Chains A and B, each alone.
Chain A
Amino acid sequence: MSEIADGLAGLYMFRTVQKRHLEALVEMAPPVTYFGGDIVFHQGAAADSAVLVVTGKLIAYVDPGGNRRVLGDSRPGEIVGETALFTRGGKRNATVAAEGVSQCLELSRETLTRAGRNPAMVALEQHMLGTMARRIRATNTNIQRVWKEAEAAKAELARNTKAPTLRERLAGLFGGGK
């Protein structure tokens, strides 16, 4: 079995998938090795594929006015840029770079079509569903938090015009603004 398929076999999402199916997935989704500092996606670039991290670590950041702000990292078993698989014409929201030697599988819309019934793809799709739902819930929880604070924020602003506005509170959570 190839080294990358060995790596896939160690991921939780593929725990019940036979190795021959993982090998078949590797044939349809080309493995890519990134070295520390290599850029995987550039912010603003056209989004047409996603990557599954098999080993190593990727970091996502935005760079407003030369001030790099790290948004998060992705470790083995995590998928980056998966919305590109279900939309056309989208752009990358952040730059993604490797933080060390990182092996990834590159997933394209064609991979989805070709590997549709491969049990490894079934497992990958289930995993993506969980990932997307978690992201939606996490963002929504933060919005609800700000929503609940809204009345207090207005009262505070009435007393002190330098108190953070709702927009600033939201920006603190989601990285916009300053």
Chain B
Amino acid sequence: MNLNLAREAGRILTVHPYAGGRSSDLAKVLERCEPKTLAIDDVLTSEGDQGEEAYFLLRGTVRVLKKGPGGDDQELAQIPAPALLGHMSLVDHSKRSATCVAADACQILVMDRRTYGSLLTESSSRGTALRRLLLSSLTRQLISGNARLQGLLVEPDDEPASTASRSTPSAATRKPRKRRSAGSDGDISNNDLLRAAGVLEGWAVDTSGVDDMQMVEDEDMRRRRMDSKQRW
């Protein structure tokens, strides 16, 4: 695999920005990773397995599947490159929360636990780059997940029409809810819960609830983002 790591790092920073993030620092993190290719339908992670690696998806798209209460696989999201995948398991030693399957040919850089552990404690610029990248990604997961949860707790007709798509009211401003009858469309569906869980896990991070918020980025990052948009 012939890769320009600085360029790949720049692309990753466009989707996972953090303050002071420089592609040259993140490229030094990528140097420590092993390249891997996947063919269509190859399995990258299996739900329930112990996670010992994180993945930088450089090319291609990955399907994310999660088992429902009945044990059947449901597609939670399709994640296109560039993306960071599977890092939660490295951070907290948890099992894989979903199965990831290649939707087409994929190019990946694999970071194993040993490399992660060594970089995480470094005070070097590459150590800082990895920590800030992960913190930025987890922050986005938390904010999006909480916003989606708050959205679920408010019935659609409780929201003022003008703000319904942009924000969710705080508990203090929320109107009392009406009781629904069985089978009412107003209650939460399994799919709603699946999506909320997916957002929290970082599998389907969207921007609902963070419309008025922006991840911290500096002038260099703004320029790089604009640059990247023009190139891709």
Residues of chain A having any CB pair with chain B under 8 Å: 43-44, 62-65, 69, 82-83, 85-90, 93, 109, 112-113, 116-119, 122, 125-126, 128-130, 132-137, 139-140, 143-144, 146-148, 150-151, 154, 157-158, 161-162, 165-168, 170-171, 174-178
Q: In the complex, A82→B132 CA distance in Å?
A: 12
Give residues 11-40 of B contacting A (CB, 8 Å).
Answer: 18-20
Contacts of A126 in B (CB 8 A): 120-121, 131
A175 surroundings in chain B (CB, below 8 A): 171
Query: Would you call B193 and A150 a contact (CB within 8 A)?
Result: yes
Q: Annotate B157-175 by CB proximity to A: 1 below 8 A, 0 otherwise.
A: 0000000000000111010
CB <8 Å contact, A89 and B213: yes
In the complex, what residue of chain A is closest to B168 when comparing beta carbons? A176
User: What chain A residues lie within 8 Å of B124 (beta carbons)?
Assistant: 117
Is B146 touching A122 in the complex (CB atoms < 8 A)? no
The answer to whether A140 touches B215 (Cβ under 8 A) is no
The 8 closest A-B pairs by CB, nearest first: A176-B153, A157-B182, A133-B92, A86-B139, A132-B138, A89-B213, A166-B188, A147-B193
B196 close to A143 (CB less than 8 A): yes
Per the bound structure, the CA–CA distance linking A18 and B41 in Å amounts to 50
Structural contact, A176 and B150, CB atoms closer than 8 A: yes
Q: Given that A146-B193, A147-B193 are known contacts, is A136 also in contact with B138, CB under 8 Å in the complex?
A: yes
The reply to whether B216 and A86 contact each other, CB–CB distance below 8 Å, is yes
In angstroms, Cα B180 to Cα A146, docked, is: 18
Known A-B contacts A63-B172, A132-B139, A140-B97; the reply to A174 vs B214 at CB < 8 A is: no
Nearest CB on B from A91, distance (A): 9
**Known interface pairs A148-B69, A175-B171; A136-B18 also in contact (CB < 8 Å):** no
- Measured CB to CB, the closest approach of chain A to B230, in angstroms, equals 24
Partner of B174, one of A118, A125, A129, A177: A177
B197 to A, closest residue via Cβ: A143
| A-B pairs with beta carbons under 8 Å apart, 28 shown | A43-B172, A62-B170, A62-B171, A64-B174, A69-B171, A85-B135, A86-B135, A87-B213, A87-B214, A90-B143, A90-B213, A117-B124, A125-B135, A129-B134, A129-B135, A136-B201, A140-B145, A140-B201, A147-B190, A147-B193, A157-B182, A161-B181, A170-B188, A170-B193, A174-B153, A176-B171, A176-B174, A177-B177
